[in-house]
Chains A and B, each alone.
Chain A
Amino acid sequence: MTDLMLTVIKLAFLLVLWLFVIAAVGVIRADLFGSSKAAARAAAPRAAKPPKPAKASRTPQRSAQGGQPTKLVVVQGERAGTVIDLSGVPITIGRANDATLVVTDDYASSRHARIYAQDGQWIVEDLGSTNGTYLGRTKVSRPMPIPPGVPVRIGKTVIELRK
């Protein structure tokens, strides 16, 4: 083995090493740089939940463009008619005094459910309530996105997201 050969082998190995890294990045390039579908998602950065107010302050702008809901309306129950503006801050619903929407309802738990924004979508999550949260006719067993117009039932209270 001449020194020249060894140098060539050394450089070739480093090249293979970097090609491997580049290939790995290539496999997930849709995640990093965005293909057509991923570009749309990249525009709405994935915020871990609950989103920080600073990050979430962009949500209304996005909602205006994408036709996303801007307010939460109580359509049934004691608080019927109440409207809460969706600013991106997570909304907690329950009997506890520190909830965003306090419901005085024997069928609701003190910390019943939570609604938060993620990727420009509003997600409802049941916080281990006694009587459960329903999205349409589905029981919410894990965080679920709320389609516009679909009622969310918490005890005797029904809320909807509206534009």
Chain B
Amino acid sequence: MPSLGEQIRAHLPYQRRNAASLALLVFAMVLTLSAFAEVGLARDGKIPTALFGYGGALVVLAMAAYFVQAKFTPYADPLLLPLAVALNGLGLAMIYRLDLDTSHDRRVAAAAGKKLLPDAADAPSQLMWTFVGIVLFVAAVAIMRDTDKTDAPLSFTPKTAQRYTYLIGLTAIILLMLPIVPGIGREVNGARVWIFIGPFSVQPGEFAKLLLVVFFAGYLVNKRQAMSLIGKKIGPVSLPRGRDLGPILVIWFFCLGVLFMQKDLGTALLYFGLFISMLYIATQRVSWVMIGVGLLAAGVFIATLLPFMGHVNQRIDIWQNPKPYFDGGCLMESGKVVPVNPDTEIYKKWDAKGDPSPGFSACVSELGGEYSDSAQLMKGLFSLGQGGVLGTGLGQGEPWRTPLSFSDFIFDSMGEELGLTGLMALLLMYALIVQRGMKTAVAARDPFLKLFAGGVSFVLALQVFVIVGGVTKLIPLTGLTTPFLSQGGSSLMANWILIAILVRMSHDARKPAPQAIQDEGMTQIVSTR
């Protein structure tokens, strides 16, 4: 009879795939360099010098990441790193391309003595954050140990986090609440999700996302037995016990709280979806999913009824009918929308008074309604339409016309220049990352790591769905970053840490099981490492 060790190995026929990983990584870098080259060729007719600066920096960073991955996690999944590098590189190329246009605009504006654009694509800072992100990846992969080496002193593994479940949950909640604190939090573009510390602005929600996954995984790993096996059965649905249902209700109230105070529908949706999916992974009970979806629907319905949730109402109204809001629309008490764009009489009247934002003042002061503007969403849709199936080609479209074309709307910018063909490829890259993460979860032997890997994969998938669905008008638009593509340090750092965790866990799950000592016969092999 084969030994237990042999049986486990036969069960997991994984091999080192470092060569494949390196080949794909080189391909990802070629892809990024081609993107820079295409931008330069289309705009100036020559290969841009930025190709060597940005491209060279990315090549060095990616190779460093590869060598650390090959040394510390030789059995890691071969796809995760190359896909992340490719998405990050394409995002960098697009931001570089948008930077060229907006920096030109800025020069023109400065020459004409006008005020500068407040938000703009900034390729050098994106490169710096890419550097920080990959350094974090390298550090995380190198520091974390295999989960079966927990006895070594000061060893830190993905499973270490399980010991601090509630502490981590508390940290996540504090991080989420930080933007509400007066002084460091400020409302930007209708949502309060940023904190400002000196010259830096941080989106704590991006990090809270990872911590919440750890908390849910740690909580559910202890409770899943009770949740899936104990409970009253009413008809086809088996209801859980009150003490098991308690936490889900707390999270529900908490998500609504975030929704109220930060006006951040996207984040609330993200966390709630995350919790529901992890409940499902842990218990495999459809009744939990039904309870969760029901609660979410009830929450959104209540939110639309409350008068002070005008922000959410508007988002939903703009989603259903964006046209009257173009360049400014006023949602009245009766549900009617009065346009207050620069072509209207009422706008001209307030503009003549020298009001700094005539549309807003006309709506709020004169009409007594809720002002909002769908220009961004509609310009994004025009962008996609302009791109069509094959796109205009990098550097040949005008994606910078959409506000925030480099962050929230970078997917539309990609759509304009790469077309539907390019967007499908980008979505497939995300799908592959998620698939590899789920595969890692399935292969993981420890229940906590299973939930952890499943959770981070799902949160990535849900985030892509919410923002891509939002900018393509499939669902109401809410501000979330597009992982790896959007400009922004918090998002890049959090997502690189996410990839590092998946890389470490996939190594753990895929490496051969240690030889069982008692099957060795007379000679016992004792591993000292």
Contacts and interface: CB of A to CB of B under 8 A. Distances in A.
Contacts of B344: none
A87 B21 CA distance: 41
Nearest to A99: B229
Task: Choose among A20, A37, A121 the residue with the greatest number of B CB atoms under 10 Å from its CB.
Answer: A20
B174 interface: no
Contacts of B163: none
13 contacts: A1-B45, A10-B393, A10-B394, A20-B24, A24-B79, A28-B436, A48-B441, A48-B442, A92-B229, A119-B11, A143-B447, A144-B8, A149-B1
Nearest to B2: A147
B86 A20 contact: yes
By secondary structure, the B interface counts as: helix
A64 interface: no
A17 B42 contact: no
A13 B432 contact: no
Interface residues of B, number: 56
Contacts, number: 120
Task: Choose among A1, A14, A50 the residue with the greatest number of B CB atoms under 10 Å from its CB.
Answer: A14
Given A9-B42, A27-B20, A98 B229 contact: yes
Interface string B3-35: 010011001010001001101100110110011
B128 interface: no
A93 B496 CA distance: 42
B204 interface: no
Interface string B67-79: 0000000000011
B281 A16 contact: no
A37 B425 contact: no
Contact of A46 (B20, B42, B78, B442): B442
B313 interface: no
Interface of A: 1, 5-7, 9-14, 16-21, 23-25, 27-28, 31, 37-38, 46, 48, 50-52, 92, 98, 111, 114, 119, 121, 125, 127, 135-138, 142-145, 147, 149
Nearest to A35: B13
A48 B284 contact: yes
A54 to B, nearest CB: 11
Interface stretch (B52-60, B180-188, B363-371, B416-424): B416-424
A145 B436 contact: no
A137 B83 CA distance: 44
Contact of B8 (A12, A23, A145): A145
Given A6-B393, A138-B516, A14 B442 contact: no
Nearest to B432: A24
A117 to B, nearest CB: 13
A147 B7 contact: yes
Contacts of B248: none
B7 A31 contact: no
Nearest to B44: A1
Contacts of B225: 92, 111, 114, 127
Contacts of A144: 4, 8
A142 B445 contact: yes
B445 to A, nearest CB: 5
A148 B441 CA distance: 26
A37 to B, nearest CB: 5
A10 B391 contact: yes
Given A9-B38, A13-B394, 7 more contacts: A17-B421, A23-B27, A92-B225, A138-B4, A138-B516, A138-B518, A145-B4
Contact of B4 (A10, A11, A12, A147): A147
B17 to A, nearest CB: 7
Given A50-B284, A137-B518, A142-B446, A18 B421 contact: yes
Given A1-B45, A142-B446, A145-B11, A24 B393 contact: no
A11 B390 contact: yes
A17 B24 contact: no
A140 to B, nearest CB: 11
Interface in B388-432: 390-394, 396, 418-419, 421-422, 425, 428-429, 432
B230 interface: yes
B516 A1 contact: no
A48 B445 contact: no
B71 to A, nearest CB: 20
A8 to B, nearest CB: 10
What 4 A-B pairs have minimum CB-CB distances, sorted nearest first? A10-B393, A1-B45, A27-B20, A17-B425
A16 B38 CA distance: 12
A5 B156 CA distance: 54
Nearest to A143: B445
Contacts of A38: 13
Nearest to B283: A50
A19 to B, nearest CB: 8
Given A1-B41, A138-B4, A24 B229 contact: no
Contact of A14 (B78, B83, B419, B436): B419
